[in-house]
Structures are given as structure tokens and as C-alpha cells.
Structure 1
Amino acid sequence: MSVTILGIESSCDDTSASVIRDEVMLSNVIASQAVHEAYGGVVPELASRAHQQNIIPVVAEAIKRAGIDKTELSAIAFTRGPGLMGSLLVGTSFAKGLATSLGIPMIDINHLQAHVLAHFIKENEEDNHQPNFPFLCLLVSGGNSQIIVVKSYKEMEVIGQTIDDAAGEAFDKCAKVMGLGYPGGPVVNRLANEGNPKAFTFSKPHIPGYDYSFSGLKTSFLYTLRDRLKEEPDFIEKNKHDLCASLQSTVIDILMDKLRKAAKDLHISEVAVAGGVSANSGLRDAFQEHARKYGWKIHIPKFAFTTDNAAMVAMTGYYKYLDKDFCPMDVAPFSRVTI
């Protein structure tokens, strides 16, 4: 008998719903919020209000595009955390109401685990690009920078993570001080493609093990701007392409150095990348280069599955459904958690 899962994602500022049937994605609908651009970052109260407006039409559209009736759903998977509490409450509450009305179980999903399992989404039955266990996954986003050993669908171990800021946060904050707007990551990426990555040198941390740190890089970047602006008031405008290229190159070097060390130490040659920063073209190029140089078998997600989306939630829910790993109706969301 087929297993049909509705996934609901509302951890930050994207409202998303997806239907997956037996590992194959039938639909994936995302409603983004442009209101935060004016504030230079996500405003939690505005995000939760927008989720309340978007969640019913988004879920309805996902079910419609999937070509099913809601009575065909086997279970509802929803992001429980980590994320913004107000946003998570909207998705959790809606999932509870719909699951109760249909008399089907609920499945709570760890947002970080879902990003990893986005690599298992099939867009058709012949799709066979999925990684083999065990594999390493570099999870990089605005809030997370982690190296994860993925041993199975449900067994994952974080062996390295940022001790301060995440890679995506470094991009966004450095872009903000340059006046490039929010979100900064995509703008930095676009400008970096036209710049010289060796034009400027920024600080790289020396952290033991597989952990990351990006606070020193941000400080080094800020001091460079401060000192050069004293000499040349229009320094940023004249050098923004080279600044972005040098910043991006430094972040990628930091990420890949630790990932390369982990792959060598653990003798794992199957390596994946996930999270919002996995859309960065420089990071994707670095993965391709490492595949050629070190013989890695790499897994890079499609752009649609790099940012927050419900397909990854539904996919994770599918595997938990097979284990009958359901959650009670009184489950509460959590804003912070690890894998």
C-alpha cells in the first residue's frame, strides 16, 4: 500500500508544503516573505503573521498540484525545530488540526536532519542519485555550519560545528556593512563572480578538530573596511567585486579545509552538501574540484532543495513513518536543538 506524506515547513520566513508518495515528490510549494528585506533581517513577529496568512493556501495548493485528495494522506510531517518559535507554532498548530480532522498520525521533524535527507528526494521513480551510507554531509546555512557523519536515515553524528557564527551569517553580516542589502549571501555570490578572490586577505581561524569559527573573519573584514575607508571614502564601491570574491573564497577555504580533513581521517569518500549556502556557486565549484582531486563522490542538491522547503520535511517524514515513529498530539516546538 502506498505511503503518502504531507510535509509542512515553517521554521523561518518561508511557508512551504509538499506531498511525497513512496519517496517520489508529487508537489512542493513555497511562499516567501519579502517584507524582511526592509529591515535587514527576519523579523520574527512579521514572519509568524505571514505564516498564518500563507499556510492554508500553500497546503491547499500542494495537495492540488499533487493530484490527490486530502483523505489519501497517510500522515502529516511538520518541522518541530529548530527555528523561530512563533513561526514553528503556526506550522505545528496547523498540522495538529489537520491531522486530527483526518484521523491520521503526526510526525515531528528535526529541520537539520531534513536538510541532510533532502538528498533522498526523488522527482520521478527512475531517480537514483541518492548517497550511500555512510557519507559526510556539510550542512551550511545562515544559522548552521556542521560536518555530519550520516550512518543511516535516522542515525547522524555531528563531528564538527561552528563555535560562534555560521557561514551564511558571515556572508549576510559582511554584506550588510557593505550596504548590499538582505539576504546578503546571494548578492555576495553574484558580485564575487566578477571579482578577484586573491585581492584581499582576511583572517582564518585556527580551531582544533573539525569545528568552525567565523567571528574572526567578520572582524578582519570589518577592520579592513574601516582602515581603507579612512584613506578612500569610496573604497567599498570601487572594490565591492574584489571584496566579495575574497570574502567568499575565504569562507569556502575554511569550510573545505575541515571537511577535507574529516573525509581523510574517517576514510569516507562520499560527501554531500546541504543548506542554504549550498546554493553558492563558489562552494559548488569547490566540491567539483575536490571530486576531481581527491576522488570524492559528491552530492550537490538542486537549487530548489537548498533553501527551506517542505519536500525535505515530507521525505524525512516518510522514513519515520516506515518506522512508525509518530509524535503525540501535545508535542511542542523547540527553537534550538541539534541533530
Structure 2
Amino acid sequence: MSKIEDLLRSMKASVLRFPGLSLASLNAALFVLFVLLSDPFGLFRRDYKNADPIFDVSADGVGTILSGRKGQETRMERDLDGWVVRLDSNLSVPGDTARIEELLEGILSLRKFTLASAKGNSSSEFGLNGDEPILELLDPSGKSMGKIIVGALAPRSAGTYVLDEENRIWLVKENLKLLTGAGKRDHFLTRSLIPEFPSREKVSEIFVSSESRGEEFRLDTNLQGEWILHFSGRDLPASKEEAEKFLEFLKTLRADEVLLDSSEEIKPVPKGQNFQIRIRTQTDLFTVSPIGTTKLGSFVVQRKGIPYKLVFDTWNLERILQKDLSEFLVSPGASTQSF
């Protein structure tokens, strides 16, 4: 007991001799304790986001994504311009880059956080009966980087059950049915009105002709890079912001439907409903016109370079064909009616 009393007396003497140093040490100890308990940087937190990934790879290292049931997989391959979808051994078509990269981001976000079954037991309970779609990543050489089998969606939108290569079933929070398009063969095919081209490829002309409007208009750039609106014989300065906003709408417009086969009846374009959209870049010219309509009246477009047809609802094209040209004008309050 005397040793403890001696130690306490010694500590008390030290505090009395060096009160400032002792107080600083106490504050430092309390600060360290606070950091450990509060974990402001999430260093010690155990949650879904910082759990171990199912696919421990980087997005840049992925060369191919396989999605779908065995024998019916959609094969998405990265190339210099983005992604292509291989329909068969001899045919590749442009992929929907936004959807494919959203899928890849979702795959790389999958985490080993909620273990539903350690040995794949009761697989049918989780929608894993042996004929479910797979998700597999391959590197540029074709070597597998990992594979999972996609099971059922969990109740109350809690996520998706997946089976990993070690026969463990995980509940992941991502909705893989949504990200994979529920296995639809056309989900990852490009649906854009015009082909995707590199951002460095500058557009020099936009031309729109519509029989329903009865007139045509054209936007192009002069030597100074300024946009000019041509309409009814007039050449007027156009707002750069509005012209580029219109161009962005054209580049991002997606078809409402894809026709992969010729079973759908295509009717001639009704009189007075034809149109043409033309975009010229430094090196290419893209022209779009309907080849007919569906029985419901939607426009059918056969875009150059793809073997299937794109279907656009008429109201989706209204912002192009019936564009209010006064929105392009630089002068406030100007009207195209005076043209």
C-alpha cells in the first residue's frame, strides 16, 4: 500500500511543480480519446460503404462486362471511343455509354456487408435456382476479374441477393435488376438520335427541316466561332448558350424503343410529317430522317451504322421540330415573327 501512496505523492508533486505541462498532457489525452470515440473521418466505422468490395478492381482495368443468363449474355467491350455491344461473333454495335458506365459503377460499389448465407444454403429462398443472370468482369486480355450470380430483389427495396464465387450469398444495396435492364437484350444498345462523337469534335452546323412547321432553320458558326441563325432569308446573331443547349439536347436525345427485328409493321410517313435533322462536324456529317411510323404513330429512324431501328414518340421530337427560334436571338424581346 505504501508503494501506491508513494506513487500518488510523486504524481501530485509533479503536478504542483509543472502544472502547465501536466494540464497540456491531460488535454492531449482527452483529445485523442475524443477522436477515437467520435471517429470524424470514418477510419474505424463499419458500414456498407467502407466494407470490403465484392469486385476489388478499378474501373480503368475493366475491358469487358458480361451480363445475362448463360448463353444469352450481353457482352460489352471497351474501345477507344467508349463501349460497344457484341450482338454475335461477327457484329458489334455502339453501346449506350451512360448506361454501361452506370452498371460498371454499380458493380464496383457492391460490398460484402450483409451476409445472408455462408454456404449458399436455401438458395431458392434468395431467388438463386440455377438459371439466374450473371455479372462478370474481364480485363483487356479476356481474363476473368470476378463473377457473381444475380438473385432476387430483397423485400421493401432493400437491395439484391447475389452469390459470389465462394458460394456465399450477400445482400447488396444496389438494385441490379434495374442496372442490368432486367436482362433485356436491347438495354445496353445505343438509342441516341445521332452517333456519339468525341467532345473535341466541334459542331459547325445544325440544320432542321420540318414539313409540319412548313419552314427550315439552320445554325452555324462563323470564323470567330460565333453562332448565326439562318431563317427565312435572315442571318442573325444567335446566343452561344442557347445554341449549345440545343445541340446538347440533340446529342442526348434517346429513342423510346428499339426494333431489333422486322416483325413490327412500319407504315409510310404521313403526308406533311416528314423531317430532316442534320449535324455537321469538322470531319463528318450526320443526317436523320424517318423511314416510316409505327401503328401508334411514332417515328421510326434507321440510323447509319446500326442494324436495328429507333422509335421516337412524336412529342419527344417537338422540342426540335417546333423549336421557338426567338430563344436563339441575342437581342432581348426580339421575335422571329418579324422575319
TM-score, normalising length from structure 1? 0.24
More helix by share: 1
Higher strand share: 2
Higher RCO (C-alpha 8 Å, min separation 6): 1
